[in-house]
Amino acid sequence: MTDETPEEPFVRIREFEWHEDKRKANLRDHNIDFENAREIVDGPTIVRRSDREGEVRYMVFGFVNDEEAVVVCTFRGDNCRLISARRARRDERKKYHSRLPRRSEAGQD
């Protein structure tokens, strides 16, 4: 286990990668293409570590195609390997929005 925060590996991403059959299945099952899912790191995110079977994995909560989504990924060196992407559940959407910094009212800073 490392001392880095869950967000740190995302700063170093060089490329995104995935298994093509997994991408097609994800598109069919969740209507989110991995090609679009990689845009999640371009906006505000909440990252939670979610290891599985000895592999370090991350759940990234943010936006894909202007909808709240959850992307599960791992890292191979500086490459981010996408495992799944789906629309966030209602409870996940509430949690995501509750953790974002509040915008100030118009005219207030």
Q: Please tell me whether residue 5 adopts helix, strand or coil conformation.
A: coil
Name the residue ranges covered by the structural domains of the chain.
8-94
**Sequence letter at residue 29:** D
- For domain 8-94, the CATH superfamily is Ribonuclease toxin, BrnT, of type II toxin-antitoxin system (3.10.450.530)
Average pLDDT over residues 10-24: 91
Per-residue pLDDT, 109? 45
What are the angstrom distances between the C-alpha of 7 and each of 12, 17, 47?
A: 10, 18, 6
Per-residue pLDDT, 2? 52
Per-residue pLDDT, 58? 94
Q: How far apart are CA 95 and CA 37, in angstroms?
A: 20
Q: How far apart are CA 93 and CA 27, in angstroms?
A: 21
Length of the chain equals 109
Average pLDDT over residues 59-73: 93
Q: What is the pTM of this model?
A: 0.80
Average pLDDT over residues 40-54: 90
Asked whether the predicted pLDDT for residue 1 surpasses 80, the reply is no
